[in-house]
Amino acid sequence: MQSKVKLTKRQIKEDKFTTTMLTVKQRLLDNWQYYVSGVVIVALVISATVYYINDLGSKQDEAAGRFSRAMLDYRTGDNEIAVLGFSQILEEFGGTEVAEQATYQLGEINLADRNYDEAVRHFEMFLANYHDNPLSRAASLAGLAVISEDRGEFSQAAAYYVRASEEHPGGPMQADYELGAIRNYLEVGDTESARDRLKILEEKHESSPYTQRAILLLAEKGNG
């Protein structure tokens, strides 16, 4: 009678390892096309990502160059050329950070040229699409306030000035915005709201010339 061969633990482990490797090898042989396809797909994704990053960087650079030229045109008084330049940035580089600045500048230029419909359109576009720049958001609201005030829409102007002040509390133009709100509240006889805004001015900008002008306005139009 043939005696049984007893395998050691090491031999059992080696046998399991050999069996596993043979199984893996067979699976690779049977499914090699799928593994190769997976590697190719990963490589394509990486290549596309690198291309996108490089392309985005080049777009940012080109957009920044266009923006600088448009700003130069604006500062030298060529507003029509500047508007064309900023508009092209929006059309061709809409996904870049420079487009944010171009949108605001289009509002500013059209406001200066009293092209109010276009100014309103771009200020509202800026407010709807860009939320991380409180200084420019406040300035956009103030631009809408100026337009409303010039059109005789004093209640709306006051509301825009208040929003501008609250958009960037403590900002460099807050006192000016509060004075604008007071001026327009007084135009519609809303003395109570004007006094409320004056309190804010006195609390935050006590020594500001805007505060002194607001006090004089209330004394003149608000019955002291």
**Which of 68, 102, 122 is the last residue in one of the domains?**
122
pLDDT for position 51: 35
Residues 154 and 108 in one domain: no
CA angle 103, 109, 112 (to 5 degrees): 145
Could you report the per-residue pLDDT of 166-185, keeping only the tens digit for each? 999 999 999 999 999 999 99
Residues 78 and 151 in one domain: no
Q: Is residue 216 part of a domain?
A: yes
Closest CA relative to residue 162, chosen from 177, 151, 144:
177
Q: How far is CA 134 from CA 18, 43, 116, 175, in A?
A: 67, 41, 22, 15
Residues 223 and 146 in one domain: yes
Q: Is residue 128 part of a domain?
A: no
pLDDT for position 45: 36
pTM score of the predicted model: 0.73
pLDDT for position 58: 75
140: CATH: 1.25.40
Structure tokens at 140: 């956009």
> What's the domain range around 157?
133-224
Residues 140 and 224 in one domain: yes
State which residues of the chain have pLDDT below 70. 1-57, 223-224
Q: Is residue 70 part of a domain?
A: yes
Residue type, 36: V
Q: What is the dihedral of CA 213, 214, 217, 223, to 10 degrees?
A: -140
Count other C-beta atoms under 10 Å from residue 42's C-beta.
10
pLDDT for position 57: 61
pLDDT for position 134: 97
pLDDT for position 37: 43
Q: Is residue 215 part of a domain?
A: yes
Q: What is the mean pLDDT of the chain?
A: 83
Residues 220 and 157 in one domain: yes
Q: What total number of domains does the chain contain?
A: 2
Residues 145 and 113 in one domain: no
Q: Is residue 96 part of a domain?
A: yes
